[in-house]
Amino acid sequence: MTIDQQLLLNDIQHHVALSLAEDIGSGDITAQLIPSENTLVATVISREAAVLCGRPWAEEVFRQLDDKVQLTWHFEEGDDLPPNEPFLTLSGSARSILTGERTALNYIQLLSYTTSVARRYADIAKATGFPLTILDTRKTIPSLRLAQKYAVAIGGAANHRVGLYDAFLIKENHIMAAGSIAAAVQQAEHIAPGKPIEIETENLDEVAQAVAAGAHIIMLDNFSLEDMKTAVNTYRGQVKFEASGNMTDEHIKAVAATGVDFISVGAITKHVQAIDLSLRVVKEANL
């Protein structure tokens, strides 16, 4: 799946506005200690190796807060960041820079971590030598779905469905409620013609039912390697296969050899950390 760019832009603008309101509230009282006419130049570094992500969010922070603050990027989105080397320089109002600093860095530190993890998984998949795509999942931070999926794509992995509206993922409870795999697929084709239909399966019998029903993608959930190979070899060319469940680095290598098309990894967006960033003032001026 790909994220609609206008949807992403609207989401960035909306989310940044909420984040600034959350942080600033009725006003930044600490920034008021600084004379309003003071300006400064500051740089931002990463204290650890990372992959840069989050530029659009940082830019939107200062667009909303003070569009006279200048942001000069020394690395592109998706570039590897060496430790302790400036990747961003800010210049302008001291009050504005210090007020927007934390919100901007919060986005960069979170999204850069997600991108760094996605890059690592994408590199593992590439190293297997098989035509394998790493997918994210919907296990994301509430309200940061689009941001994290953007970060995944920047890192070189791919997006699964964005939400519950752009593709079907029919799981055990859906199948039970619909009556059967065939009935669920038939209803899906009626409800949203043309939307991708994926069936989560737990055994080879369910795989056969999903293929017969016309599923586009079949998820092999916690299958043994032997059963994955059987499913792929039996129905190769008729349907795409996605493997899911406990995807450690070594397991990904073994699963890739079964011939599946996709591996979904919830840990890319579910296990959240932050890259260690620091803003340093390098020049102050009182104009």
Active-site amino acid positions: 102, 139, 171, 200, 221
The answer to whether 149 is a known ligand-binding residue is no
Instruction: Consult the annotation and say whether 267 binds a ligand.
Output: yes
In this structure, which amino acid lies at residue 69?
V
284 marked among binding-site residues: no
Determine the Cα–Cα distance for residues 102 and 285; give it in Å rounded to an integer: 22
Q: Is 123 a known ligand-binding residue?
A: no
Q: How far apart are CA 58 and CA 81, in angstroms?
A: 17
Rounded distance between C-alpha atoms, residue 287 and residue 285, angstroms: 6
246 labelled binding-site residue: yes
Asked whether residue 102 is marked as a ligand-binding residue, the answer is: yes
Residue 44, annotated as binding a ligand:
no
Q: Is 214 annotated as a binding residue?
A: no
Sign of CA dihedral 163, 111, 115, 66: positive
Is 171 annotated in a binding site? The answer is yes
Burial label, 235 (beta-carbon count in 10 A; 0-12, 13-18, 19+): middle
One-letter amino acid of 165: Y
Q: Is 265 annotated as a binding residue?
A: yes
Helices (H), 78-180: 94-127, 145-154, 172-178
- Is 253 one of the annotated binding-site residues? no
SS3 199: strand
One-letter amino acid identity for 241?
F
> Edge-to-edge strands of the sheet including 88-93?
70-73, 88-93, 38-46, 277-286
Is 244 annotated as contributing to ligand binding?
yes
Q: Is 25 annotated as a binding residue?
A: no
Contact criterion met (CB below 8 Å) for 97 and 40: yes
> Could you tell me which of 120, 161, 122, 121 has the C-alpha nearest to residue 140?
161
Binding residues for substrate: 102, 137-139, 161, 171, 200, 221, 244-246, 265-267
